[in-house]
Chains A and B, each alone.
Chain A
Amino acid sequence: MSQHMMFLQGNEVCVEAALYAGLDFFAGYPITPSTEMAEMLSIRLPQNGGKFLQMEDELASMCAIIGASLTGSKVMTATSGPGFSLMQEALGYAVMTEIPCVIVNVQRGGPSTGNPTHVSQGDVNQARWGTHGDHAIVALTASSNQDVFSITVDAFNISETYRTPVVLLFDEVVGHTRERVLAPEPGEIPLVGRLHTSVRGGVDYHPYLPREDGRLPMSDFGGVHRYNVTGLFHDMWGFPSNNPQVVHGLLRHLVDKIENHANEIARYKEYYLEDAECVLISYGSAARSARHLVNSRRPRGERLGLLELQTLWPFPDQIVREKCAGAKYIVVVEMNMGQILQAVKAAVPDPSKVFLANRVDGDLITPTDIRNILRLIWGKGV
């Protein structure tokens, strides 16, 4: 990475990265702790000829970005818990109609209005299952501003590759922490553009017929092909169908295109896992504290390691299983009541080895908090 150094808040870094990835349409509704993103994009987008819209609510924001994406724009919205709740129906629409879009949720304490100015990681399962019906989803996160940059670009790339909404689950601490970021040069991180159909205008185009590799080339809505898009189960033309074969086929496609690529979508970082007796699994701002603890205890010979997840959904079961194979204890460090804990327990062969180190009072979990809990679990050292 080179050259251009910035000193920015996580929210601002996300905006820079989105613009780097080609964002040209944003619609949103102000909410703490994500509002800076809307404010910044209201300045930046029109400078590039892009569109910034402040809509009447988050339902409208989510719908507007879907409409814009379909016409060929790279789109994003940003919100926090209450707004993310309002977006769920339209998020499901984007899943069903396979429309690329990025939804940033800078998490704050919930439920309800909760703890607007404080940190939480309570929306992990909402990102997974917030919209109704069986489906797969991609949710990514990051713990440092440098990673916010690369993960945000990844989010756009994944959304285009798999034609899927991608949720960026940041949190209040990451969103508001100011730190140094090296901005990559244009072209330094490869970008995935819209995969366009090669079918010419006037020729029958099947908007929902996957290629052999499972990808679905798109035709910019409003362009040369006239086709139907619907949230009803639909056939390869996009026509509504309740034929059991069509319904089954589409549902399997929607789930498989993500779940079968869990390893490709997985982003993670590891610290001292080779010989770790106790593996911490963490993500987002909680992972900063976990990393600090691991770095400070290693010199004392404590065999502590960290697996920092950046892809939360699809859950990287196989990777977690492999990385934890030699661990006596697995401790999930998160700021909720154990949302990733459940996924880890389901992934490893012996769930009785998996413990939770959490904090849910609106303050960032500290290395000391984690150490105190480890002492109870591990019963030594730390």
Chain B
Amino acid sequence: MSVKDYIRERFFPHMWCPGCGHGIVLNNLLRAIEDLGLNKTGIVMVSGIGCSSRISGYVDFHSLHTLHGRALAFATGVKMSRPELNVIVPMGDGDALAIGGNHFIHAARRNIDLTAIVMNNRVYGMTGGQYSPLSGYGTSATTAPYTNIDHGFDIVALAAAAGASFVARTTTYHVMELRNIVKRAITHKGFSVVEVMSQCPTYFGRKNQMGSAVDMMRSYKENTVPLGSKEKQEHPELIERGVFVEKELPEYRAEYDRIIERARKG
């Protein structure tokens, strides 16, 4: 199958701006699914609201486009009822970590088998460039005209601390890595978080003088290093990419089957 076979052409043209990173995420997500040879009918996409969340409509899987921040809660309901399905949750940084922050840490804590792909563009794209909990101190946004005094989350550290059993970070520049990490995340049994640094040239880029989409992607190349590289020690401001956590822990839905067994024994 080609990537074209995984999309709903009826839905196109897509709504993303030229140069938006979210399309790269979609493309590589589909390639990862193709590599894995997954059946379209076995995949559910559950998303919230945001530019990133629109991914769910474009794909020819079961797609559930829900409320801002709540995708993981809906996905939990789906997974608990139909554990055989592969449930993938594309999310925005605001969606996952501001309004949906509570659901995010609790899904991680339960270690329920969902794949959360957080497209971190450090901004609220859909509503026009307000700061997000990932914008970071000193950045500019339409609601931070005098610069932002909110500090940003570290998604990887947060997810790991909350109990996610697979945690990774990559960028839209590193597409082969993105594709491979998404594959591993989908295959992993348990709650998987993939942070994908994804450019929003329209708002974050423009407000923070980061140049074009290409310039922003180049900065991903220059400002990130593979996990464990020596450069990080010399330049602590570099951002690490790779798989930070990958461990086998009891998965929630499987654990619930044991509850059912216990309850039936009485």
Residues of A within 8 A of B (CB): 25, 27, 43, 46-47, 49, 51, 53, 55-57, 59-61, 63-73, 75, 89-90, 93, 201, 221-224, 226-232, 237, 239-240
- For the complex with contacts A27-B77, A67-B78, A239-B10, 9 further pairs of A-B residues with Cβ separation under 8 Å are A46-B256, A64-B74, A67-B76, A71-B78, A222-B62, A223-B41, A226-B61, A228-B57, A231-B66
Q: Do the beta carbons of A221 and B65 come within 8 Å of each other?
A: no
Contact: B106 with A222, CB < 8 Å?
A: no
B225 contacts the other chain (CB 8 A): no
Q: Please state if B65 and A67 are interface contacts (CB–CB under 8 Å).
A: no
Q: Which of B240-266 contact A (CB under 8 A)?
A: 256, 259-260, 262-264, 266
B62 in contact with A221 (CB, 8 Å): yes
The complex places the Cα of A43 from the Cα of B54 at a distance, in Å, of 39
Complex partner residue of B263 from A43, A70, A232, CB under 8 angstroms = A43
The verdict on A221 contacting B76 (CB below 8 Å), with A60-B103, A229-B63 known, is: no
* A226 and B40 within 8 A (CB): yes
| Interface membership of B34, Cβ < 8 A | no
Residue in chain A with minimal CB distance to B86: A222
In the assembled complex, the CB of A15 is this many whole angstroms from the nearest CB of chain B, namely 15
> Please, could you name 15 A-B residue pairs with CB atoms under 8 Å apart, sorted by A?
A46-B264, A49-B260, A51-B256, A56-B106, A59-B73, A60-B106, A63-B76, A64-B76, A67-B77, A71-B82, A90-B67, A93-B66, A228-B56, A228-B63, A239-B10
Are A51 and B70 closer than 8 Å at their CB atoms? no
Rounded to whole angstroms, the CA-CA distance of A66 and B74 in the bound complex is: 7
Q: Which residues of B contact A (CB under 8 A)?
A: 8, 10-11, 40-41, 44, 46, 56-57, 60-67, 70, 73-78, 80-82, 85, 102-103, 106, 256, 259-260, 262-264, 266
Determine if A59 and B81 form an interchain contact, defined as CB atoms under 8 angstroms apart.
no
Number of A-B contacts (CB under 8 A): 126
- Asked if residues B77 and A46 are in contact (CB atoms below 8 Å), the reply is no
What residue in chain B is nearest A219 (Cβ atoms)?
A: B62
Residue from B57, B61, B77, B103 in contact with A240 in the complex, judged by beta carbons closer than 8 Å:
B57
In the assembled complex, the CB of A222 is this many whole angstroms from the nearest CB of chain B, namely 4
CB <8 Å contact, B78 and A222: yes
Task: Report Cα–Cα, A271/B249, bound state, in Å.
Answer: 61
**B-chain residues with CB within 8 Å of residue A222 when the two chains form the complex:** 44, 62, 78, 81-82, 85
Q: Which residues of B contact A25 (CB under 8 A)?
A: 77, 80-81
Residue of chain A at shortest CB distance from B109: A56
Q: Tell me the nearest residue of chain B to A44, going by C-beta.
A: B263
Docked Cα-Cα span, A316 to B44, in Å, equals 40
The one of A53, A63, A89, A232 in contact with B74, judged by C-beta atoms closer than 8 angstroms, is A63
Q: How far is the CA of A25 from the CA of B74 in the complex (A)?
A: 13
Could you say which of A64, A224, A230 contacts B73, with CB atoms under 8 Å apart? A64
Alpha-carbon gap, A69 to B81, bound state (A):
9
Q: Shortest beta-carbon distance, A168 to chain B, in Å?
A: 20
Does B76 lie within 8 Å of A46, measured CB to CB?
no
**Contact B263 A46, beta carbon cutoff 8 Å:** yes
Verify A64–B64 contact, CB threshold 8 A. Answer: no
Which of A65, A227, A229 is most buried by chain B, counting CB atoms within 10 A of its CB?
A229
- Which residues of chain A come closer than 8 Å to B61, judged between CB atoms? 226
**Partner pick for B64 among A56, A70, A224, A239, CB 8 A cutoff:** A70
- Is B65 within 8 A of A70, CB to CB? no
Closest B residue to A27 using CB positions: B77
- From known contacts A55-B73, A59-B73, A226-B41, infer whether A221 and B263 are also in contact, taking CB-CB under 8 Å: no
Shortest B43–chain A CB gap in Å is: 9
Are B264 and A47 closer than 8 Å at their CB atoms?
yes
Assess whether B77 is in contact with A47, with CB atoms less than 8 Å apart.
no
Contacts of A59 in B (CB 8 A): 70, 73, 103
Instruction: Let me know if B76 and A51 touch, CB within 8 A.
Output: no
Find chain B residues with CB under 8 A from A228 CB: 8, 56-57, 63-65
Complex A-B, nearest 3 residue pairs according to Cβ-Cβ distance, in ascending order: A67-B77, A63-B73, A46-B263
Residues of chain B within 8 A of A229, CB atoms compared = 63-65
Min CB–CB distance A118 → chain B (angstroms): 29
* Closest chain B CB from A343 CB (angstroms): 29
Complex Cα distance, B106 from A53, in Å, reads: 12
Give the one of A67, A231, A240 with max B CB within 10 A. A67
A67/B64 in contact, CB under 8 A: yes
- Measured in the bound complex, the distance between the Cα atoms of B46 and A53 in whole Å is 19
Q: Chain A residues near B262: list those with CB within 8 A.
A: 46
Q: In the assembled complex, how far is the CB of residue A209 from the closest CB belonging to chain B, in whole angstroms?
A: 15
> Which of B263, B264, B266 has the most chain A CB atoms closer than 10 A to its own CB?
B263
Q: Roughly how many angstroms separate A299 CA and B7 CA in the complex, as a whole number?
A: 74
Contact between B66 and A72, CB atoms less than 8 A apart = no
* CB atoms of A51 and B67 under 8 A apart: no
| A-side contacts of B78, CB under 8 Å | 67-68, 70-71, 221-222
What residues of A have a CB within 8 angstroms of the CB of B63 in the complex? 226-229
The distance in angstroms between the C-alpha atoms of A227 and B11, with both chains bound, is 12
Give chain A nearest CB distance to B14 CB in angstroms. Answer: 12
What is the CB-to-nearest-CB distance from A342 to chain B, in angstroms, rounded to a whole number? 30
| B64 x A65 contact (CB < 8 A) | no
Quick one: which of A65, A93, A223, A239 contacts B77, CB cutoff 8 A? A65
Closest CB of chain A to B61's CB: distance in Å?
Answer: 6
Bound CA–CA A89/B80 (angstroms): 22
A212–B262 alpha-carbon span in the complex (Å): 47
B65 and A72 within 8 A (CB): no
Q: How far is the CA of A89 from the CA of B48 in the complex (A)?
A: 13
Max chain A Cβ within 10 angstroms of own Cβ: one of B11, B63, B73: B73
- Contacting residues, chain A, for B77 (C-beta < 8 A): 25, 27, 53, 63-71, 75
CB atoms of B263 and A73 under 8 A apart: no
Across-interface contacts of A57 in B (CB, < 8 A): 102
Whether B70 lies near A239 (C-beta < 8 A) is no
Contact A67 B103 (CB under 8 A): no
A220 — nearest CB in chain B belongs to which residue?
A: B82
A71–B82 Cα gap in the complex (Å)?
Answer: 7
Measured between alpha carbons, how far is A25 from B79 in the docked complex, in Å?
12
